[in-house]
A = this chain, B = another copy of it.
Amino acid sequence: MTIALIIILSLLGIGIAFYYMKKVISIPIDLGLSQEEGERLKTIHGAIAEGAMAFLKQEYKYLAVFMIGFAVVIAVLIDDTHTPDVREGVYTAIAFLFGAIISILSGYIGMKVATAGNARTTVSARNNIADAFVAAMNSGAVMGFALVGLATLGLMVVYLLMKALLPDVANNVTMEVIAGFGLGGSSIALFARVGGGIFTKAADVGADLVGKVEKGIPEDDPRNPAVIADNVGDNVGDVAGMGADLFGSCAESTCAALVISAIAFSADLNAMLYPIMISAVGIPVSLVTKMLVRVHTEEQVAPALKKLLIISSVLMAVVIYFFTMWMIPGEFVINGEAYTSMGVYWCFLSGLVAGLAVGLLTEYYTSDMYKPVQELAKSCETGAATNIIFGLALGYKSTVLPYLAIAASIFISWELAGMYGIAIASLGMLGTLAIALTIDAYGPVADNAGGIAEMVGLDKEVRRRTDILDSAGNTTAAIGKGFAIGAAILTSLALFAAFLTHSENLLRDINGEDYNLIASITLLDPVVFTSLFVGAVLPFLFTAMTMKSVGAAAFDMIEEVRRQFREIPGIMEGQGRPQYGLCVAISTKAALREMIAPGVLIMGTPLVVGFLFGVPAVAGILAGSLVAGGVLAIASSNSGGAWDNAKKYIEAGNLGGKGSEEHKAAVVGDTVGDPLKDTSGPSLNILIKLSAILSLVFAPFFVNYGGILL
């Protein structure tokens, strides 16, 4: 019954995605355009779609090699002592591949519809803002519902598959194998986030620096050779990257909850599948929310997006109460501690509220409607340097309240349901994922729509309308980023707890039932403290690497754009056609090249540390990089967002407006913030999650073969 319900809800999600996909595609791409305009639009739209697919195709080649290679590593190295007759690694590798493929599929669907929806949003905007809003929103919804549906279906399928393949092993072993699914999703997220982030910023910086600054042509001008790459980047980074990140969080928190509760709920299928159910229930709730919110006038756009988030949160809070009471036993015991179903519900709620709080705080610190960004804009009066100083300070300061909100959620859920509670809290934060992703993917679609309007040369009114959609999307993008970081922090903490629980169980098989691993992971253990210390430095090194990667990739792009302006005759007069494809290819190549080193750092560190120094050292590394990485991620994201909006605030005519000295100072801040908010910051989410799930999956390896130096 529970299994059936989850599968039905998952299929519902996929069905909804198909329905919206149809709706989007049913809009004629040249709706109401003249023959000539229609041709131009088709060319540009085609170039963006092709560019995005070309990137994905290249990326998937790399990924295929990586996935197969890493699956072999998993199959060889993981050999659980629980099950001497079963080669756990092989099954984990299968789950890993399955998770990776589903993550890729979600990203692919999202990109496909986002690149189909952009032009259709443009042409709908010629009618009125309501049509355009619906077109962009529906494009986003495809991504949102498909991803959540695929995630829950995938988890369900992998669970049933493993039950069928391994009928005789205990539930907790099954769940450990299933964790491979989360690892697969998260590994894809690494490449999507880091590679996508580098792609989008290299294209952006290249287009801006040569086009806007050197040549003095406007943004999204079709004469700029990097303009298509720039628009492709929005899709690659913000749609595919964000999607893979949150797919990872969803799969990983579910895996963490499953691993932690497997023994306690071994005989209670309902309780065991509760974590998957939370995400599945989010699908109909998101659908109802989406149908409740409509937009008729321009003023309604921005409030509508926030309404979506708040209504879906309230609905989830109500619905999940009943599911919790139904599925979780009134009282139960995990690892010797007694908890209640009401406690579990509070955990869910604390995560939901913390997620909303982090999102709204992010908005406060990065929207130009509030004091922080207005003050930042004012600091441009004394030049670029003060803008940078104030922006860094703003980012640093903005970490305090979100951290306290997350800390409160951690503390509450830990007290009420132990480590299981943390995993439930992170699922609570992700409960409204379908709607949150809809809004996230809506942003780049609207952004692209504006670009297309500009490039095709449509009426100014069209661009004005898409700009309204886009600017509302910018605010929610900031909320979405805060939300993604919050979810990443809770998820990694849950994975961290699952890792230690799992390791302790394995060690007890070797050292007897009294062996207490967790009590040895104290702050006054030399190995733990030293590795805590080393862990804290990883996010900084990782940020430095990704920032410099963007620099290197942007440099290649700048050279190419300059070359085209120099060598293609008549390009500035609009006669010579720029070679858009070459710029896309350069961004692609640079992104794929530059994502290797950070990838090796993230995946290699826990493996090497665990092999050399064993489980306590891995625990220290994870905790250190989690606490330091979370702060750095929030600070990077918010500094970048605030600089971006301070610039827009000035461009809106405040403090001297466009072209003033203040504006020049603001542009410097914006350029500094770009890699921080779109590459380094979001990639840190992956750093903290991926190293944690990797450790969870490789726990048997660390226990059996690790710690050779101690």
Are A533 and B407 closer than 8 Å at their CB atoms?
yes
Per-residue B-contact encoding for A541-560, CB less than 8 Å = 1, 0 else: 10111011011000000100
Chain B residues lying within 8 Å of A404, measured Cβ to Cβ, are 534, 537
Chain B residues lying within 8 Å of A393, measured Cβ to Cβ, are 543-544, 547-548, 551
Are B672 and A397 closer than 8 Å at their CB atoms?
no
Are B389 and A533 closer than 8 Å at their CB atoms?
no
| Interface check A631, CB cutoff 8 A | yes
Chain B residues lying within 8 Å of A527, measured Cβ to Cβ, are 411
Most buried by B among A397, A528, A667, A675: A397
Chain B residues lying within 8 Å of A383, measured Cβ to Cβ, are 668, 671
Is the interface on chain A under 10, 10 to 19, 20 to 34, or 35 or more residues?
35 or more
A521-B523 contact given A410-B533, A493-B529, A672-B389, CB 8 Å threshold: yes
Are A528 and B534 closer than 8 Å at their CB atoms?
no
Q: How far is the CA of A489 from the CA of B540 in the complex (A)?
A: 18
Chain B residues lying within 8 Å of A389, measured Cβ to Cβ, are 547, 550-551, 671-672, 675
Are A385 and B672 closer than 8 Å at their CB atoms?
yes
| Interface check A497, CB cutoff 8 A | yes
| Interface check A346, CB cutoff 8 A | no
Which of B390, B410, B548, B551 has a CB less than 8 Å from the CB of A551? B390
Chain B residues lying within 8 Å of A671, measured Cβ to Cβ, are 383, 385-386, 389
Per-residue B-contact encoding for A513-530, CB less than 8 Å = 1, 0 else: 000001111111011111
| Interface check A258, CB cutoff 8 A | no
Closest Cβ neighbor of A379 among chain B residues: B551
Closest Cβ neighbor of A493 among chain B residues: B529
Within 8 A of B (CB), among A376-415: 379, 382-386, 388-390, 392-394, 396-397, 399-400, 403-404, 406-407, 410-411, 414-415
Within 8 A of B (CB), among A198-216: 209
Select the stretch in A136-144, A354-362, A622-630 that faces chain B.
A622-630
Task: Report the minimal beta-carbon distance from A684 to chain B, rounded to whole angstroms.
Answer: 12
Q: Would you mind naming 15 contact pairs between A and B with Cβ atoms under 8 Å apart?
A: A385-B668, A390-B551, A392-B672, A393-B544, A396-B541, A403-B534, A403-B536, A404-B537, A410-B529, A414-B530, A500-B523, A522-B523, A523-B523, A523-B619, A523-B620
Q: A residues within 8 Å of B by Cβ? A: 209, 379, 382-386, 388-390, 392-394, 396-397, 399-400, 403-404, 406-407, 410-411, 414-415, 419, 493, 497, 500, 518-524, 526-530, 532-537, 540-541, 543-545, 547-548, 550-551, 558, 619-620, 623-624, 627-628, 630-631, 635, 667-668, 671-672, 675
**Which 8 pairs of residues, A with B, have the shortest CB-CB distance?**
A414-B526, A385-B671, A397-B544, A396-B544, A536-B627, A396-B540, A393-B547, A393-B544
